[in-house]
Structure 1
Amino acid sequence: MKKTFFSIGLVFAAFFTMNAQEVSDNAIGLRFGDNSGLGGEISYQHKLSENNRLEIDLGIRNGKDSDSFKATGIYQWVWSLENRFNWFAGVGGGVGSIKSSGISETFFFGTGDIGIEYNFEAPILISLDYRPEFGFTTVYKGLNSDIALSIRYQF
């Protein structure tokens, strides 16, 4: 039984290794989505290995009724689809704060990420992703979803 699981694991790992796409060392740009009411985010990606990266996003909202921020960190795996197209998936979490009517509350959440991206010949990366988030506090609780379009400069 152990040999069967080990063999399946090796085949699975080999498949994803063969289809791995090298990611750029760094990319910075904007992620345009709802972000749970915060709107767009500043987004940074850093290469960790040949097909893994860390994505860090920061959303800030300054309004007349409330001030908020939300920071997200996601570990991502990247696989090649065809030519310059890749798909990616990841897991992570984050922290945020909402200040409204003189009351400030901090929240925490866990998140996943799945999407598709295109690398242009110029150092531009464009992606579309879906990010489910699960909040753990009274201010940000339960399942929250976000779909976003991102544009990043790769360097």
Structure 2
Amino acid sequence: MVKTSLSVLIVLFLGLSFLNESQAQTYATGIGLRAGVSNGLTVKHFIQSDVALEGILHTRWRGLVITGLYEVHKDIREVRGLRWFYGGGAHIGSWNSGNSNPPWADPGYRGSTIVGIDGIIGLDYKFVDAPINLSLDYKPAFNIINGGGFWGDEVALSIRFTF
């Protein structure tokens, strides 16, 4: 009886160890800063083990843009905690006129509201022993409403606190 109970405890302990090991390689939610061509805040939340929703609030050309993305994450087995991801979404925002008008705007530009679609591809690394996540991505976008056309320059590094 004691031998059986000890065996059950050992199996349970090993099972929990493997469970803890797999959880250490990923995170449920990350909140942090995004720095690149535009700067702002980012929140990424996993709705499945390999699918995340990301919200970005960032500034560019004296304006504010909100982006929502659906991302699929894939493991890179050679490096623990590293994944690559791809996805897409949409953005909405507004720009003000002033001294630093967007480069595509004419001299009489008075500001506008924009709506568009986004793609994203990148690398996502979760430190194993710390609640920190780094993400490097390329996020091209296309404005459907109110000019600007294709933005192919959006590269950014995100640093997030994870929990």
TM-score, with structure 2 as normaliser:
0.71
Return the match for 1:69 from 58, 64, 67. Answer: 64
Instruction: Show the counterpart of 1:29.
Output: 32
| Higher-strand-fraction structure | 1
Residues 26-105 of structure 1 mapped to structure 2, 5 A cutoff: 26-34=29-37, 39-60=38-59, 67-82=62-77, 83-101=80-98, 103-105=110-112
Inter-partner Cα distance in structure 2 for 1:134 and 1:73: 14
Q: CA deviation at 1:23?
A: 4.2
Q: Distance in 2 between matches of 1:143 and 1:104?
A: 18
Instruction: In structure 2, list runs of 5 or more residues that go unmatched.
Output: 1-24, 99-108
Kept in 2, the 8 Å contact 1:23–1:51? The answer is: no
CA positional deviation for 1:118: 1.4
1:113 aligns with 2:120: yes
Give the whole-Å Cα distance in 1 for the aligned partners of 2:81 and 2:146.
42
Paired with 1:128 and 1:60, the residues of 2 have a C-alpha distance of: 18
TM-score (norm 1): 0.74
Q: CA deviation at 1:154?
A: 0.4
Task: State the Cα distance separating 1:117 from its structure 2 match.
Answer: 1.8
Say how many residue pairs are matched: 126
Give the AA of the match of 2:133: L
Deviations along 1:80-129, one digit per CA (max 9) or x if unpaired, are 10311111111101101011159331001111110112111201001111
8 A contact 1:31–1:151 mirrored in 2:
yes
CA contact (8 A) 1:123 1:153 kept: yes
> Could you say which structure has the larger radius of gyration?
2
Aligned counterpart for 1:125 among listed residues 125, 133, 143: 133
**What's 1:148 paired with?**
156
Aligned match of 1:7: none
